[in-house]
Amino acid sequence: MERFDAVVAGAGPAGSVTAYRLASAGASVLLVDRARFPRDKPCGGGLTMRAVAELPFPPDPVVEHVVTRMRFRHAYRNAYERGSERPLILMTQRRRLDALLAERAAAAGADFRDGVRVTGLDVDAAGVTVALGSDRVRASLLVGADGANGITAKRLAIGPQPAYGVALEGNLPYAVARESHSGTAILELGTVPGGYGWVFPKGDHLNLGVGGWEREGPSLRAHLERLCRAHGTSADRLGNVRGHRLPLRRPDARLARGRTLLVGDAGGLVDPLSGDGMYEAFVSARLATAAAIDLLAGRAGSLEPYDTAVRRALGRMISASWGAKIAFDRFPRLTFALSRPPLVWPAVEGLLCGELPHPGAATGGARLALRGVETLARLVGSPGPRYRVEGA
């Protein structure tokens, strides 16, 4: 039976970066994924500079477009645009990004095996036995990184199971409107209950999508068609149209038990407002690595300190995002008006670039506007406060 310090199940952003960090620290790591690489995944494909700052190496080889401006519109009518002199979001495609991250993990020393499915887990006090088809491997710890539809969270019974949002997206090849989209990400607010629509520029196409509450699943195609019409096209012209679920961690869900933990989407670590999980994936990878190294070095008896570390690192931001999500859903016009004043933009820019840790750290007029959004959310019972960690 092969033996490793760690098995990482899932080679998405969270899993591959965890494998990279662990291998770079000298651990023996097996990274497995059931798909053959390169493989595509439904995702808007945006890396905020906040997320990029958490990567241990630059993603430059797979960046297709750099966003420096954002256009916000309410109900496909009232719009405003804000810009920056620096990059805000780097646009890529998951097929390219995930392949790069897995390659970097392998180059750091991880044993990467694609097309390998985890079929069983047996956890005991000394480690984990992982069944990979007819093969079995033994490891001191397991990192569950197999996403929203993976088996590790279910098999490990760390739960409770997350709530879900849903999204539907497709790609539109550039025609004559390429310049009008250059450097600009478009967000259509007040259009999909519990979410929004988006138009993101890529290297040779636009990515158009819609996302919202799970109950919006049956209506997503109608929402996508409406988005396309608002941008002068039809959903029939979109290629590679795909839907996916967005796991939203419940405040009482555990992320670690004994010698196992969950990172990224497997742990429901998705921002509830944006539906983006890249920043959360990279933060959880960093914190998972620290907990794993402590366990392997004998400084800790389990991986459970990781759970507290993640809550402290992400709690305030997730809390604020839930508040904004609920406010936009219940009071879309008023919340849009509160976000529109130019004095709010520096806070948004600071959040995108990672200079502002969470909205509550904003100052001046931006703080007043964001407090207004928080008040609206509190009026209708936002779950946000339940994600905060005292003292964080």
Which is higher by pLDDT, 37 or 177? 37
Q: What is the mean pLDDT of residues 9-14?
A: 97
Q: What is the pLDDT of residues 159-208, one digit of tens each?
A: 667 889 999 999 999 875 566 788 999 999 999 999 999 999 998 899 99
Residue bearing tokens 């009482």: 252
Residue 391: pLDDT above 80? Answer: no
Contacts of 192 (CB under 8 A, 6+ apart): 210, 211, 212, 216, 223
Residue among 220, 255, 253, 248 at smallest CA distance from 235: 220
Bridge partners for 189 per DSSP? 74, 196
Q: What is the mean pLDDT of residues 286-314?
A: 97
Residues spanned by CATH 3.30.9.10 within the chain?
63-92+163-248
Percent of the chain with pLDDT over 70: 97
Question: Residue 160 has what pLDDT?
Answer: 63
Contacts of 83 (CB under 8 A, 6+ apart): 68, 69, 70
What is the rounded distance in angstroms from the CA atom of residue 185 to the CA atom of residue 144? 32
What is the distance between the terminal CA atoms of the chain, rounded to a whole angstrom? 43
Q: What is the mean pLDDT of residues 305-321?
A: 97
Question: Residue 41 has what pLDDT?
Answer: 84
Question: Residue 389 has what pLDDT?
Answer: 83
Question: Residue 177 has what pLDDT?
Answer: 56
Residue 40: pLDDT above 90? Answer: no
Phi (first) and psi of residue 211, to 5 degrees: -150, 155
Least confident of 8-12, 108-112, 118-122, 153-157: 153-157
Q: What is the pLDDT of residues 340-376, one digit of tens each?
A: 999 999 999 999 999 999 999 999 989 999 999 999 9
Residues spanned by CATH 3.50.50.60 within the chain?
2-43+94-160+249-303
Q: Where are the beta strands (DSSP E) in the chain?
A: 2-9, 29-33, 46-48, 65-67, 69-74, 78-83, 89-91, 111-114, 118-124, 127-132, 135-144, 163-173, 184-189, 196-201, 205-213, 239-248, 256-257, 260-262
Q: What is the mean pLDDT of residues 285-313?
A: 97
Question: Residue 43 has what pLDDT?
Answer: 83
Contacts of 132 (CB under 8 A, 6+ apart): 32, 113, 116, 117, 118, 119
Question: Residue 150 has what pLDDT?
Answer: 82
Strands 205-213 and 196-201: antiparallel
CA–chain centroid gap for 125, Å, is 31
Confidence of residue 157 (pLDDT cuts 50, 70, 90): low
What is the rounded distance in angstroms from the CA atom of residue 317 to the CA atom of residue 249? 13
Percent of the chain with pLDDT over 90: 88
Instruction: Name the token pair of 177.
Output: 């409107």
Instruction: Enter the DSSP assignment of 47.
Output: E
Question: Residue 240 has what pLDDT?
Answer: 92
What is the rounded distance in angstroms from the CA atom of residue 301 to the CA atom of residue 381? 38
Q: What is the pLDDT of residues 212-223, one digit of tens each?
A: 999 999 999 999
Question: Residue 154 has what pLDDT?
Answer: 82
Instruction: Name the token pair of 64.
Output: 């297709």
What is the rounded distance in angstroms from the CA atom of residue 359 to the CA atom of residue 370? 7
Q: Coil, helix or strand for 317?
A: helix
Instruction: Name the token pair of 173.
Output: 């090849």
Question: Residue 148 has what pLDDT?
Answer: 77
- The domain defined by 2-43+94-160+249-303 folds into FAD/NAD(P)-binding domain (3.50.50)
- The domain defined by 63-92+163-248 folds into D-Amino Acid Oxidase; Chain A, domain 2 (3.30.9)
Question: Residue 64 has what pLDDT?
Answer: 95
Residue 9: pLDDT above 70? Answer: yes
Question: Residue 163 has what pLDDT?
Answer: 85
CA–chain centroid gap for 190, Å, is 22
Q: What is the mean pLDDT of residues 384-388?
A: 91
CA dihedral 134, 140, 145, 151 (to 10 degrees): 50
Residue 335: pLDDT above 60? Answer: yes
Q: What is the mean pLDDT of residues 1-25?
A: 97
Residue 158: pLDDT above 80? Answer: no
Question: Residue 228 has what pLDDT?
Answer: 97
The pTM of this model reads 0.95
Average pLDDT, the chain: 94
- Looking at residue 46, its amino acid is G
Looking at the chain, how many residues does it have?
Answer: 392
